Amino acid sequence: MIAPSILAADFARLAEAADAVKGADWLHVDVMDGHFVPNLTLGLPVVKAILASTDIPVDCHLMIDDPDRWALGYAEAGAHNVTVHAEAAADPVKLAHDIRAAGAKAGLSIKPRTPFEPYVELLSHYDTLLVMSVEPGFGGQEFIPEVLDKVRKARRLVDAGELTVIVEIDGGINSDTIEQAAEAGVDCFVAGSAVYGAADPAKAIEALRDQARVSTGKAR
């Protein structure tokens, strides 16, 4: 699965940016509050406008403080997947149940320096594990390969039937890094500059997907 990150698009033309990636599996939308991360992007009103302009399932990544208070609104608005940060959620089990009850899939994200093991039991309540491969806050950063150890651990648990999450990765994914991420066991790849920085975003998605498929076949 390829999820283009609209963070790398022209914010003045978000509807056009969504239309340019029609072949995408999900459309990744980063919500940042300027507190949990040192950047401010967009919020629920803009997400609602994006939802109204595309048929692509919208993958909302909430890089915000107090997601227990705010996440439900994104699920109720029609987001396909709503991801909150393990480092910010006060009651992640209840939050996952509330997001699911509102009709969305629930995702749990961990930052590069956050260990995976403390959250394994929590993941039984979630549909998606989003492993950050850059420090959250800004696009265009360099991929941190050390996070792939967390991906491998999650993949082993999924393959063993102990977890049922989609393993997603976000940060620095491009033609140079997607193969090693696929080999580690990633299911869904968030790609920003690699898609929206290309002359033809739709072709860039297909090229990334082809690379991931080949690498996944080698690894499994």
Task: Give the integer Cα–Cα distance in Å for 204 and 187.
Answer: 18
Q: What is each CA distance from 103 to 72, 75, 188, in whole angstroms?
A: 10, 6, 20
Cα separation, 14 vs 116, whole angstroms: 34
Q: How far apart are CA 96 and CA 178, in angstroms?
A: 29
Query: Is 68 one of the annotated active-site residues of the chain?
Result: no
What is the spatial distance between Cα 158 and Cα 42, in angstroms, rounded to a whole number?
33
Q: Which of 33, 127, 170, 187 is catalytic?
A: 170
**30 flagged as catalytic:** yes
Contact predicate 171/63, CB 8 Å: no
Active-site option among 25, 30, 59, 127: 30
Closest alpha carbon to 165 in 125, 133, 134: 125
Amino acid at 106: A
Positions of E strands within the chain = 2-4, 27-32, 58-63, 81-85, 105-110, 128-132, 166-170, 188-191
* Of the candidates 60, 126, 120, the residue with the CA atom closest to the CA atom of residue 94: 126
Quote the DSSP letter at residue 40. B
User: What amino acid positions are annotated as catalytic residues?
Assistant: 30, 170
